[in-house]
Amino acid sequence: MLAEDPDARQEGPVVSSEDLVVRALGPCRIDSPLLPLLETRQRSYYNVDESDRVLFDDTASALTARGVGVDQVPGFEPAGPRRKIFFDPSKTRAGIVTCGGLCPGFNDVIRGLVMELHFLYGVRRIYGFCNGYQGFIPKYKRPVLELTPQSVSQIAEHGGTILGTSRGQQDPGEIVDCLERMSINVLFVIGGDGTLRGARAICRELDARGAKIAVVGIPKTIDNDIMFIDQSFGFQTAFSVAADVIRTAHAEAKSSPNGIGLVKLMGRHSGFIACYASLARNDANFVLIPEVPFRLDGEAGFLAVLRRRVKESGHAVIAVAEGAGQEHLAASNGETDASGNARLGDIGVFLKGKITESFAAAGMELNLKYFDPSYLVRSVAANPFDAVYCLRLAHNAVHAAMSGRTEAVVSRWHGRFVHVPIALAVRDRHKVDPNGDLWLSVLESTGQPPMPG
C-alpha cells in the first residue's frame, strides 16, 4: 500500500503510469453548465488544466531514478534534522522575536522553539526580545526575557504573543550590536513580509561584519500572502473564526425583510481569508477580494446585481476583504503605516453607505447589518490543526538554525517541509489567482455573476 501520510517516505510497490490511469465510460460530447466559468480562465500556476498531469512523486530522488538529473529540476532544500550540526549546543545562545500584527499561533511557535532547543538539542540559554525589533534597540528600553520550558509551558492556551510585538523598521546595525553584546548565535524571527525583509537586512549586516550568527524565519501572515508556503500558520484558525461571523451575518440577514449581512475581513492584498471563510460555511452570496476588481454601478455592476439578488431571495450575505475595491475609494495620497504599507480606504464603511443609497434610490426596503471582526480573527488562540503546524514549523526552524542555515525561512510546500531563501520568499506576494481553482470554487459556491472591473 502507499503511505497515507504525505510526509512518509518508504519503499513500496513500483507504481507505473498505467496504474494511474482513471477509467472513463466514453467520450464527452455535451457542453458543461460550467462552461461560462471555465472559458474565462487562463493558464496560470494555480490553474491545473484537464490536459495537465500532477506528478505522482515530486522528489528529486524519484526523478533521478527515471534518468532526470537533480540539477536539472529546480527544488527546495528539504527541512529537518541533519546528521551533523554547525553549533555546539552547550555553547549556543538563542534569541526569539515576534513582529507585526497578531496572528493565532504566535505562542505555539515560541513554545515549540524553546522546547526543541532545550530538550532535544540541550540549548539552555534562550532569550525573548520584547515588542518586535524594538527589543534590540537601547532607546526603547524593552525587557529581554529568559525563556525556559517552565515559563512557556502553558502559553499556547492564549492568543497574542508573550513577547509582544511592534511594527516598523529599526537600524540593523543596532540590532546586530545587541546580538553581539549578548553573544547570540541563532536568532529566530517570527513575522511577515516586512519582518522578513528586516531579517534579510540583519543578515547583510552580519555578513559585513563576518559574524557567524544564523537567522531563521518562521513566516507569519494572517492574510496567507507570503510566497512558497502552502498555508501560513494561524490561517486556518483565522478563517474558521471568520466563517462563524459569516454564519452569524447569514442568520441576521434571513431574519429581516430585505436583510443584508455585510462582513469585512482581513486581507490587504490577498483575499484568502474571505475566500476560505465563505467556502467553509457556504452562506455568502458575494465575495469581493483585492485580486478581482469589480464594477460598482451599471446593470452588470455590484449594486444592481445585489438588488436583484435581494429582490429574488429576500436576503444576501457579502464577504469583503479589506483591500477589495480600493479603486472606488479616494487615494491615500501616499500615506503609509508604521510598516510602510499604503493606508487603505475603509471598503466596509464605503459599501455600507453605497448599498444604503442604492436601495433608497430604488425605493426598496433595506435591513443591513455590518460586521468587522478583524481583531477577533487575529487575536484568538490557535486551533488544533494550527497548533500542530506551529510545532512542526518550530522543530524545523531549530533544525535549520543548529545546522548553520541562515537567511532562510521554514515552509511547508506541496505538503513537505522545506527551506526557502528569504530573498525568494519576499520577492513577490502570494495572491488569489482569478484563474485558479480556489476562485473558481468561490464562484461555484456563491453563484455570483461576473462583475467586470
Provide the phi-psi class of 353: left if phi over 0, else alpha when psi is between -120 and 50, else beta: alpha
Whether residue 252 contacts residue 317, with contact meaning beta carbons closer than 8 Å, is answered with no
Note whether 241 and 296 are within 8 A (CB): no
Answer positive or negative: Cα dihedral of 421, 425, 428, 433. positive
Answer whether 381's CB lies under 8 Å from 157's CB: yes
Q: Beta strand 186-191 with 93-98: parallel, antiparallel or unpaired?
A: parallel
**3 state DSSP class of 103:** coil
- Write down the catalytic residue from 193, 223, 225, 283: 223
Q: Which residues of 312-339 are buried (b: 16+ CB within 10 A; e: fewer)?
A: eeebbbbbbbbbbbbebeeeeeeeeeeb
Integer Cα distance of 287 and 292 in angstroms: 10
Q: Name residue, grid cell 484568502.
A: 272
DSSP 8-state secondary structure symbol assigned to residue 46: T
The CA dihedral of 261, 262, 263, 268, to the nearest 10 degrees, is 160
DSSP codes of every residue in 48-79? --TT----S--SHHHHHTTT--GGGS--PEE-
Respond yes or no: is residue 223 known to be catalytic. Answer: yes
Q: Is the dihedral of CA 47, 193, 234, 3 positive or negative?
A: positive
Q: How far apart are CA 186 and CA 209, in angstroms?
A: 16
Contact 254, 246 (CB under 8 A): no
Distances 14 to 2, 11, 69, 346, 433 between C-alpha atoms, Å: 10, 9, 20, 56, 35
Residues identified as active-site? 223
